[in-house]
Each structure stands twice: as structure tokens, then as C-alpha cells.
Structure 1
Amino acid sequence: MNRQSLDPGADRPRNVAIIAAGGSGVRMGGLKKQFLPLAGLPVVVRSIRPFQDHPLVDAIVLVVPPGDIPFGQSLCSAYGLAKVKGVVEGGRSRSESVRSGLEAARSFHPDVILVHDGVRPLVRARLIDRVLEAATRHGAAVPAMEIYDSLKRVACDRVESSVPRERMRAVQTPQGFQSAWLYGAYSRPVLPEATDDAGLVEACGYPIAVLPGDRDNVKITSEDDLKLAGRLLADPGVAAGIGYDVHRLEAGRPFILGGVKIPSELGLTGHSDADVIVHAVIDALLGAAGLPDIGQQFPDTDPRFCGADSTGLLEQAVKTVAGVGCSVLSIDVTVVCERPRLAPHIPDMKARLAPILRVDPSRIGIKATTQEGMGFVGRAEGVCAWCVTLVQRH
């Protein structure tokens, strides 16, 4: 267990995710269901990855069946799940497994804890967003789906009565809680009728906010579930976009690239702050989503954008592409600049752009090169940038 304090910054809480994958039931092919392959990856890896990639999740604790710690650690290493700071053994029940995860997470001093089933491999970043926001605001939050089928109370294969479905919901994970509430709930004897963490928190008298779930956020409990998840992944709806931008260099202007101000005698000139990296990223995103380009979204004839911070324009662009059902998977930027040397500033650029794009910095590539003294870039008259992006269409 790598015990360390997390410091996400003073402006937001520390968020830790517990992936409850401690079930020991053997399913298809003699494997535990959380380790079954799904479209080339183990189910549990797909369940972890959205939290690994989420910029607001600071650490992950993985709970595995007894005896499977080495296997869990090898999975995290093999698939680059660096945010998994601890792999611990679960117990005989789900509540015992979550309790084990909570003990492991205690050393991180979390403010908000997300608990997610290790067999829900299709959770999306936007659902994690909503649960985090609601848990931070209300103290506890669960995603839930409306039920459209008729409900019956049954005994001995006969209907006893009908159950009104209007106020019924099918609850999913991740479930989010202020850490004090969840630790308090688990400090008491576990109620047998509580089938999830929200049930334990509710029993303590705390209110639980309910928000819309995701129909595709399926739980793998049978071979049919696995086949359904495979079909949902078979056509991922991935789209690519390419963006390009160029601006002149002039004396007396700030030199801003990738949202980072870089010391330089020359700076880029334009209607906004002329950040060619961010502009190329915006155009790539808009293109991948099939939307009008940056010039139509943020025209230089509009005084609102005069001197604008381009990262603010990028935030608007990300919301725009999200509005048509697209989320960022990765971006790859090449910036061509003769001087100054940009390599030392690339980590800061990635850290600046990652939360705006809602991806982990590892999903952002930025490379810098020169023109070897040739052309307008080589003469230090301007800077240009190319960006290729992949987006997920939902």
C-alpha cells in the first residue's frame, strides 16, 4: 500500500474511488466475473479506467478477492492504472469488501469517496462528474434509472401483489459520499437489509440525493450481461479531428502556449491571446464532432473575444461538443517554434489542459520542434501548431 497524502489543490476536495471487485463467484470459463475478458480487456480494468482518466479523481483503491492481491497488482501495472494506490483483500460480503477499501483509503484523508462496482465496465466520465458534484453539494448521491417494467411481489412462483413503480428506481454505481458520512455508517453494525452503501448511509439518517443514471452502465452478473456489454463496445463511435493554427510573433506581446505564459521577448499576436496550441485543439475537437470551426464559433469580429483567454474558449468548445454527445478521448499536438525552447514547459501545458478537456494528462501528447531556420517559423516570424484528437460519440 502506497500511503501518502493527496494534494489536489486548495480549491477543491480530495476525491478517492473505491472499486469493489472482491466477489469470489466463478462464472463463465472458470474465471471470476470481474476478471473475464471484455473486448480485449478484463472487466475490472474497464471498470477502473474511467476513474484513472478522470481529472478530479485523485486516488483509487482496488478491492479484490482473498488471495488475488498479486494478480490485482499485476493488472494495474500492466494496464498503466497509476492512480491505484492500493490493492487490498475483500471479505465474504460486499460490505466487508467496501470496509476493507475504506480502511485503505483512510490514509489519503479523502473529502469525498466514490464506491463503484468492479463489474460495471461501461461507466462514463459524465456520470462520475454528476455524482461527484452532487455528493460534494448534498453529502451523498446515487445514480438511478426509472423502471418501465411492471413490478410484482412473488411467492412460490405466484403473484402476491403488484408494486407501484412510479416511485421505484434501479440504483447504480458509482455512489458518492462525504467521507465522514460513509465512515460513520460503516462504524456501525451492517444492516442485513442494506444492499448497498447508500442503504447504510440512509440508515444513519442522512439524506441521499438521486440523479439520473445511465442505461448503458450495466452490471456484469451473467453471460447475457457480458454479451450486452460486448455489443455496446463493439461500435464505440470514435471520431477523429485535425486542427491547425498559426500566428505572428511581435515584440511586446505575451507569449502564451497551451494556456501557459512563457518568458520571451516576442509574443503571439491575434484577436484573442493567440494561443496556437489551444486554437488547434479547439478546431480539432469541433471537427471531430462535426461542428463549425473556431472562426465561426468565436469570430474575430466579435468584441467579446478581443483579448480572450483561449483556455476559456476551450472550455466553451468542450461543452459544445459534449452537447452533441462527444467526449474527449485523447489529443496529440505538434507545435513548431524556433525559440524559445518549449520542452521545459510541456508538463505545465498538459497539467493546464487536462482538467479542461476532462482527461488524464497521460491522454495528452504535446511535442515541440523547430523549422531548422527555414521559412517564416525558422525566421522567428510566427508559430504554428497541429492537433489530432479522438472523441467518443455517445
Structure 2
Amino acid sequence: MSSQPPCRVGTGVDVHAYAAEGSGRVLMLGCLEWPGERGTEGHSDGDVAAHAACNALLSAGGLGDLGAVFGTDRPELAGASGEHLLRHVLSLLSAAGWQVGNVAVQLVGNRPRVGPRRAEMEAAMSAALDGAAVSVTAATTDGLGFTGRGEGLAGIATALVHARGDD
């Protein structure tokens, strides 16, 4: 029998449509504000990177999903930031005896261009997870699907959690 603590992996997905032009919604992505970019619709801030990461972490910890934990029936969460949601998920994981190993997030959409702010996104999401490693990548869909038509953004994430040690 291995002396390694048990590990679990989870996958998460989140999608949000772009808000109507002139709606005043600001794009929040990877726990950052993106001035000049069209915002997304959502009960909270519509941050597909943070939300996909939350779903992956909750899945890895066996704690349900974003809808079960942060349902749209909770008015106090209206407009909640992705950072707030990540911090709350981290506290749930900790209470259940899990520690975040790492999170990898893939963003799917034509805009915004992630490359120039990738390191900033990774740092912001990592800070919300008490320094856990976060990597962010992005892809377009060559014009296919709702993301390719510029109707919204999608995020896909994978997370690794492991049992907290007593050290």
C-alpha cells in the first residue's frame, strides 16, 4: 500500500452568453476585469474561467457542482465574483479534508486575447486558491459553434486535489 495521500481529479465546464451590447456588463475572466471587452450574462459575474475551475474542484472533492453550491435561487450571490466563489470552494474543500494540487483551465472563444494577460490571470486565480498552481490556456473554434460565432465564452477545467497532510 502506498504512503502517498489519496488524490482525486475533477473536470468542470462553464459557459456564458455575451451580454447585449450596451448592457453595461463588464467582462470578468480569470478573476480579472477586461476593460473594453463585452461582458457575459450570468447570475454572478459570468467568469467562465473561475466557474469552470470551481466546478472541477467541487467535482474532484466529491462536493457537487456550481449549481448545487451556488444556485441561482440564492439572491445574496447575485453578482458574486469568481474570486469569491473560488475562495468559498477552497473553504469547502478544506473542511472536507482536501487540498488543491493544481487547476488547469482552457478558455474557448474568439475574444478576448488571453496571451497578453495569461500570467496575470494565473496569479489572480492562484491567489484566490491560497497559492495553488493554476494554468490557463485558450483556443478558438475556427468559427464553429456558439463560441466561434462570437455569441459567448466557454471554460473547461481539470483539477487535482489531495488529502491534507497533518504536517
TM-score clears 0.5: yes
> Which residue is equivalent to 1:353?
125
User: What amino acid is the match of 1:373?
Assistant: G
- Residue aligned with 1:264, SS: strand
> Which residue is equivalent to 2:58?
286
Contact 1:329-1:359 at 8 Å conserved across structures: no
- Within 5 Å, which residues of 2 pair with 1:161-172? none
CA distance in 1, matches of 2:117, 2:29: 9
Q: Find the partner of 2:9 among 217, 240, 243.
A: 240
Q: Find the partner of 1:255 among 27, 34, 56.
A: 27
> Which residue is equivalent to 1:318?
90
- Residue aligned with 2:36, SS: coil
- Residue aligned with 2:26, SS: coil
Contact 1:376-1:382 at 8 Å conserved across structures: yes
CA-to-aligned-CA distance 1:225-265 (integer Å, 9 cap, x gap): xxxxxx7x623201001000000002232111010111334
Please identify which structure carries the higher helix content.
1
Q: Find the partner of 1:336 among 96, 108, 111.
A: 108
CA-to-aligned-CA distance 1:150-184 (integer Å, 9 cap, x gap): xxxxxxxxxxxxxxxxxxxxxxxxxxxxxxxxxxx
CA distance in 1, matches of 2:3, 2:79: 44
> Which residue is equivalent to 1:369?
139
- Within 5 Å, which residues of 2 pair with 1:64-79? none
User: What amino acid is the match of 1:241?
Assistant: G
Q: CA deviation at 1:359?
A: 2.8
- Unaligned stretches of 5+ in structure 2? none
- Residue aligned with 1:390, SS: strand
Contact 1:259-1:352 at 8 Å conserved across structures: yes
Identity of matched residues, %: 35
What TM-score do you get using the length of structure 2 for normalisation?
Answer: 0.91
Give the CA RMSD over aligned residues: 1.4
Structure possessing the higher radius of gyration over alpha carbons: 1
> Which residue is equivalent to 1:302?
74
User: What amino acid is the match of 1:295?
Assistant: G
User: What amino acid is the match of 1:369?
Assistant: A
- Within 5 Å, which residues of 2 pair with 1:57-206? none
> Which residue is equivalent to 1:389?
159
Contact 1:330-1:359 at 8 Å conserved across structures: no
Q: Find the partner of 2:38 among 227, 251, 266.
A: 266
CA distance in 1, matches of 2:37, 2:6: 45
Kindly indicate whether structure 1 or structure 2 has the higher relative contact order, using CA contacts under 8 Å at least 6 residues apart.
2
- Residue aligned with 1:268, SS: coil
What TM-score do you get using the length of structure 1 for normalisation?
Answer: 0.40
Contact 1:264-1:340 at 8 Å conserved across structures: no
Q: CA deviation at 1:312?
A: 0.6
CA distance in 2, matches of 1:288, 1:372: 31
